[in-house]
Amino acid sequence: MTRRTAAAAALLAGVLVVAGCGSADQQPEPETRPSESPSTSPSPTPAESPRTRPPREPRRPGPPSTDGTLRGAAYGPGSEPPPWLFRRALPETADGYGVVRPTPPALVRRAFTLPDTVPMLPGRGYASRLVSPAPGAVVDRSTWEPGCPVARDELAWLRVVFLGFDGRRHTGELLVHARVAEDLDQVFRRLWEARFPMEQVLIVRSLDEEAPPTGDGNGTGGFVCRLTTGGSSFSQHAYGLAVDVNTFQNPYRSGQVVLPERASSYLERERVRPGMITPDGPVVAAFDEIGWEWGGAWTTLEDYQHFSEDGR
């Protein structure tokens, strides 16, 4: 098992550092199934003159989240990402993981959203774009390679709107098995409606495979051609049949292994913060609607970020 095979389990490496979306996003593609719903946001008011615009009152902290959402809570711009994010490499263990570290104070209540990696989808409410099979240029910037247990033409490219920790509308992308793409579109619609925030929704890129572990990644994604964490068989991610959600707020733990390595504060599951998945919250409910199981309910280890079709 290589180090990056293990670390990819939590979408850890520099995948969250924004990179250009590449030529794939500029080429024409068959839009097979657009989906939009009207926003419930109020209609914009006419632009005001700077001289007449009233001063904006500072937002006050809202009530603490009990299910990881922003619903019903007042929120401002969220926290700011520290300047060292993704830049402080961890020493590695003999197993190839980074050495587990305490959560830095700046990340104990992690509530920022990084720039989107794909252009914004039109509209004001939820929207999605599904292209199946995924364009070749999109697959080329993923971890797919010959020998992966899913064929290139079995993967679909799904772009979805999601709510950021800033309370704003964002757009992300996933590679998933074409057979489950519409079901996952339904899941992300439910998360938008529930006002569940995410930091980034993105495709793990092949160039991230050799990045050193920093232990502070926090992505939401699907397809990654890799083995199970600590195992020798292909993960369900390698089939495009698993999704990880907010990996930092929902870490993986097995014995002394914690991924991401700096996310130990979020092992305190009774201390619910925005972006955390709770047993009775909207994320588990949304995946349950399509018959997917949650790794946070496993008994031999906890994989709070992980959902899969077959429960593995």
Task: Write out pLDDT tens, residues 105-158.
Answer: 999 999 999 999 999 999 999 999 999 999 999 999 999 999 999 999 999 999
Average pLDDT, the chain: 82
Max CA pair span of the chain:
65
Give the CA-trace dihedral at 289, 291, 292, 298, to 10 degrees: 110
Residue 310 binned pLDDT confidence (cut-offs 50, 70, 90): confident
Residue 21 binned pLDDT confidence (cut-offs 50, 70, 90): very low
Q: What is the pTM of this model?
A: 0.81
Kindly report, residue by residue over 285-298, the tens digit of the pLDDT.
999 999 999 999 99
Instruction: Name every residue whose Cβ is closer than 8 Å to that of residue 18 and which is 6 or more positions away in sequence.
Output: 114, 115, 116, 117
The answer to whether the CB of 115 falls within 8 A of the CB of 2 is: no
Kindly report, residue by residue over 163-219, the tens digit of the pLDDT.
999 999 999 999 999 999 999 999 999 999 999 999 999 998 875 656 789 999 999
Instruction: Name every residue whose Cβ is closer than 8 Å to that of residue 112 and which is 6 or more positions away in sequence.
Output: 78, 79, 80, 81, 165, 166, 199
Residue 72 binned pLDDT confidence (cut-offs 50, 70, 90): low
The answer to whether the CB of 287 falls within 8 A of the CB of 302 is: no
Kindly report, residue by residue over 264-277, the tens digit of the pLDDT.
999 999 999 999 99
The answer to whether the CB of 2 falls within 8 A of the CB of 212 is: no
